[in-house]
Structure 1
Amino acid sequence: MTETSSSVPRRLRGRATGVAVAGLALALAAPVAATATAGQAGAAADPVSVLKFKAQERKEALAYWTPTRMKAVGKSVDLGPTGPKAKPWRGTTLKTVGRLFFVNAGGADTWCTATAVKSANRSAVMTAAHCVRRGSSPYNTNISMVFVPAYHKGKAPYGAFAVRQAATPRTWQTDSTNDMAALVVDAGKNGKKLTDAVGGQQVAFNRPVGGTISSFGYSATRPQLGEEPLRCVGTAKKEHGSQVIPCDMSGGSSGGPWLADFNATTGKGVLVSVNSALDSLEPTKMYGEAWKGTAKKVYDRAQNA
């Protein structure tokens, strides 16, 4: 992902532009960057790149992302009107889906969308790799990351969960390919682990592309401006080595879940991908990676951390 001026970082992949969004550009003292866990020698053989955040960094992240700051980052961006394909979600509360707040590598307050998933450690979250670090740039990583499930118009009913580890495919770090990530979060308020508090979506890998997909995201389009989730519904198709659905969500929806077999009553489905990039020439097409073996390894690294 390359950063543009104003407040919208974009990721280019052929005709597609990434859908992360940055808000207020702030002058910040540079915190200690997260560090890769693998040594230089072992890194080449490891298909997964892992970042870890120290306990003090996580504490500072929770203190940094006050309710006022969360509201402010949304108000700083307006990417045009919502829809017509993306519509506000008015169904059951999506407890597993939330906003992922962070400070990007350029020093700007930023958000993406992310999803709590079933995992061995009950603490795993799935999102896009460009919500964790810039592609093809090993040292440009995001910091001060917190996940706020079920965020809605300034309310955080389950609190904020600090990210302690972030795994991406190494190919994203080196070549900007395979845009997905799995995070591990600390326990939240009252010491409750994430999926004990909000539940988790089932995750599938090597699933054939196709079928009806419900995609969700906190798009920076108006009037929502990231304050409530939007939904797109459409049939997934193969395209350019990944998959695509009809959707016009924009910045801020990056990392939002693609749920197959979605049950609108329970808010549950099967996570098969995440929002990765919006086609710049046809801004009604949203791309998501087809999750295969490497994606499974990224997920396993997170769920077993």
Structure 2
Amino acid sequence: MKSRARRLTTTLTAVGLTAGSISGAAGATAPSDVVARNATTPAEQAILFWTPDRVRLATGGAKQSKPVNAPRTVGLVLFTLPRTDPRDPRNWRSCSATSVRSEHRDLVATSAHCVYDTRRNAFHDNWVFIPSYEDGKAPYGIYAAKTFNTHADFAVNEDYDYDYAFVNVHNGIKVSWTKAGRSWQGQLRNAGRLGDNVGGQGFTWNRSTKLSVSSFGYPAGGRTMKRCSGKLRPMPEARKYNAQEHVGLPCAFTAGAGAGGGPFLSGYKSASRTGYLVGVGSVAWDTDGDGRYDHLSSPYFNGETYKIYKAAANRWTGDIP
């Protein structure tokens, strides 16, 4: 039997099938290997947790110029580690993500490690998505998680060949903050559905492992979106992550701190700022051993990925309770 890594270089070169809106009833029963769990943190609580001071501490770094024609769909993800003290900054984390097309325009694509803690075997708390985030600004509102959708092989087996997730989010909220002493008070205003505000990237799978792609994200938990562009190639086996079917591109992003979950987009058009999602930032690589990251990889998107996407794309989040 061929190893998964060997199969990737020899057989996974079929022309991809693109998916726009997904047919089928909302809330249909998902396959058994789809792990879908509702967020434990109430939406408004998650949004109000991330005060301007906390966002500033969680992102850190210096502001830099963002790429020209950056996609509105890409944004910053913030969350706290589960089963820990959320008030402790050591338990705050950030990732990247993108809005992706779905039946109800409420879907975010990111990495599974950006929604699930394999060490504690639980989904993250206080999870929010801020599209087009830049230096403390949330121009399209903040979107709290309703339902996390991952593959069982990541949640159960910690297999990074399945390090992708799709998150159904509530309607966005715009917050007007005021500070009295040390306390922040936020006034909330409904911003509407994610897809109505920023659109969504297309979704495709079973594509060539040598596509030209652009990756966007917030490396090192940064305050500004950055971009890498290059040609994909199959990556070697990464035993630490049980990963044998990853594809990567030249990029100095750090997958574990900020840029993880950022989209790999093929056919990206600067005019429309759209393309097709073919991957998400998962593992950062130092391929030449000089102590610096030089590649970023994603699980190869195949029929298993589509299965998770399809289940998530049919879920309706409803209004914030």
Q: TM-score, normalised by structure 1?
A: 0.76
Deviations 1:125-165 (A, max 9, x none): 00000001123x57332111011000011110011011101
In structure 2, give the amino acid aligned to 1:185: V
Which residue is 1:34 aligned to?
none
Query: Match for 1:255 among 261, 271, 276?
Result: 261
Code of the aligned partner of 1:125 = V
Contact 1:91/1:265 (<8 A) preserved? no
C-alpha RMSD of matched pairs (Å): 2.3
Query: How far apart are the structure 1 equivalents of 2:121 and 2:295?
Result: 31
Write the letter of the residue equivalent to 2:103: A
CA contact (8 A) 1:92 1:264 kept: yes
Contact kept? 1:88, 1:231, Cα under 8 Å: no
Report what 1:231 is aligned to.
227
Match among 88, 110, 115 for residue 93 of structure 2? 110
Trace 1:5-16 onto structure 2 (pairs within 5 A).
Answer: none
Q: Which runs of 5+ in 2 are unaligned?
A: 1-28, 86-90, 174-189, 237-244, 316-321
| 1:197-247 C-alpha deviation (Å, 9 max, x unpaired) | 111000111122222110011011xxxx51011111110011232201111
Q: 5 Å matches for 1:282-301?
A: 282=288, 283-301=293-311
The verdict on how the C-alpha distance between 1:169 and 1:62 changes in structure 2, with shifts beyond 3 A counting, is same
- How far apart, CA to CA, are the structure 1 residues paired with 2:158 and 2:32? 16
Give SS of 2:200's match: coil
Q: Is 1:89–2:73 an aligned residue pair? A: no
1:51 to 37, 42, 49: 37
Distance 1:299 1:66 in 2: 31
Q: How does 1:67-86 map to 2 (within 5 A)?
A: 67-75=52-60
Which one-letter code corresponds to 1:304 in the other structure?
N
**Cα displacement (A) at 1:191:** 5.0
Contact 2:253 2:295 in 1 (8 A): no
Paired position in structure 2 for 1:32: none
- Do structure 1's residue 187 and structure 2's residue 193 form an aligned pair? no
- Displacement of 1:68 in angstroms is 2.3
The 5-angstrom pairing of residues 265-280 of structure 1 reads 265-280=271-286
* Distance in 2 (alpha carbons) for counterparts of 1:258 and 1:293: 17
Report the equivalent of 1:198: 198
Q: Work out the CA distance in 2 between the residues paired with 1:281 and 1:140.
A: 32
CA distance in 2: counterparts of 1:128 and 1:57, whole angstroms: 22
Q: What does residue 16 of structure 1 align with? A: none
CA distance in 2, matches of 1:197, 1:234: 29
Quick one: which amino acid aligns to residue 35 of structure 2?
S
Query: d(CA) in 2 for partners of 1:73 and 1:97?
Result: 18
Aligned to 1:9: none
Q: Which has the larger radius of gyration?
A: 2
Residue of structure 1 in register with 2:128 after alignment: 146
Aligned residues of 2:140 and 2:191 also touching (Cα < 8 A): no
Amino acid of the residue matched to residue 302 of structure 1? A
**2:218–2:226: 8 Å Cα contact kept in structure 1?**
yes
Figure out how many residues of one structure are paired with residues of the other and give that number: 249
Question: Deviations 1:165-199 (Å, cap 9, x if unpaired)?
Answer: 11111000111121000000001133511100111
Aligned letter for 1:52? N
Give me the whole-angstrom Cα distance separating, in 2, the residues matched to 1:157 and 1:174. Answer: 37
Asked if the contact 1:215/1:256 (under 8 Å) is kept, the reply is yes
Gaps of 5+ in 1: 1-41
**Contact 1:206–1:292 under 8 Å retained in 2:** yes
1:272 positional shift: 0.4
Equivalent pair of 1:211/1:235 in contact (CA under 8 Å): yes
1:119 maps to 2:102: yes
How far is the alpha carbon of 1:266 from its aligned partner? Answer: 2.2
SS at match of 1:122: coil
Contact 2:100-2:201 within 8 A present in 1 as well: yes
